[in-house]
Amino acid sequence: MAFVRWRFGVGGAAVAANRSIFAPGLFAEQVAIITGGGTGIGLAVAHELAFLGAKVAIGSRKQENLDAGLAALRAQGAQAVGFTLDVREPESCEAFVKSVLEAFGRVDVLVNNAGGQFPSPAQNLSARGFEAVIRNNLNGLFYMTLATANAAMIPQGRGRIVNVIANIARGFPGMVHTGAARAGVENMTKTLAVEWAQFGIRVNACAPGTIRSSGTQQYGEETLELSRRATPLKRLGTVDEVSRVVVFLASDQNDFVTGSTYYIDGGGSLWGDVWPIEEPKKP
């Protein structure tokens, strides 16, 4: 397939990216689902998997993101379908997987990329705000995983699941809601890796640090600069760098890797902090 992968930068401009480092045809005859696949990391993963031969199905809650992602994929020759998806609703997840099976007949790869959060000190976080992020980033990921496994991967005796989480190695000051959710997903990754090994399913996670993408644009340049300074490599990551790790974990080349979390953070999990610690306030 004549296809050049594109990276979609902040602001929506398309920038030509390097071709994949992986062997052509690595995902030939395979079908991959990417949630949150219309923008950012999800779209980069969808492009690379399609370039490597996969048929891809992207899901998004927003129709405009879905339409834009599909247009970009199809413009580069990808075999791609897309359906609206609200991972917070089990029925939506089940309907999505059913539609993919109707379109392509099987599902080999699930990339759980959909998610969202917002910065807030814990003391200012409402119960509703906390529950909304948990519902999206933890509950929704489980609903999508369960629907895909039961409808496709367990019956066919094979599957690769990659959960995109976050840098939670030292907690997540400033975003306790998503820190709790992502930690839950990391434990879920380990648990399902054991339970579903008998079905030929490998389950892994990747934990991006601060990545320059449409998702982090909302935090503003000042916050991104603080993250850059707190990263040993002194730069932000790119969606392509995350995609490479996701693609490895989704491939047959990871057959003896399961239940693991790969950090993609320029060493940020080992050093540096963007959360200031004030002197204790006296009563």
On whether residue 276 sits in a domain, the answer given is no
Number of domains in the chain: 1
On whether residue 275 sits in a domain, the answer given is no
* Distance separating alpha carbons of residues 130 and 39, to the nearest angstrom: 24
Closest CA to 251 of 57, 32, 79, 58: 32
Range of the domain at 197: 23-264
On whether residue 88 sits in a domain, the answer given is yes
On whether residue 139 sits in a domain, the answer given is yes
What does the pLDDT read at residue 274? 83
* Distance separating alpha carbons of residues 124 and 257, to the nearest angstrom: 40
Given a cut of 50, whether residue 37 has pLDDT beyond it is: yes
Residue with tokens 């932000």: 236
Given a cut of 80, whether residue 275 has pLDDT beyond it is: yes
CATH code of the domain in which 147 resides? 3.40.50.720
What does the pLDDT read at residue 216? 62
pLDDT band at 133 (very low <50, low <70, confident <90, very high): very high
pLDDT, tens digit, for every residue of 207-263? 999 888 766 666 668 778 888 999 999 999 999 999 999 999 999 988 999 999 999
On whether residue 229 sits in a domain, the answer given is yes
pLDDT, tens digit, for every residue of 202-215? 999 999 998 887 66
On whether residue 136 sits in a domain, the answer given is yes
**Reported pTM:** 0.91
pLDDT band at 281 (very low <50, low <70, confident <90, very high): confident
- Please state, for a pLDDT cut of 70, what percent of the chain lies above it: 91
On whether residue 232 sits in a domain, the answer given is yes
On whether residue 270 sits in a domain, the answer given is no
Closest CA to 86 of 127, 43, 147: 147
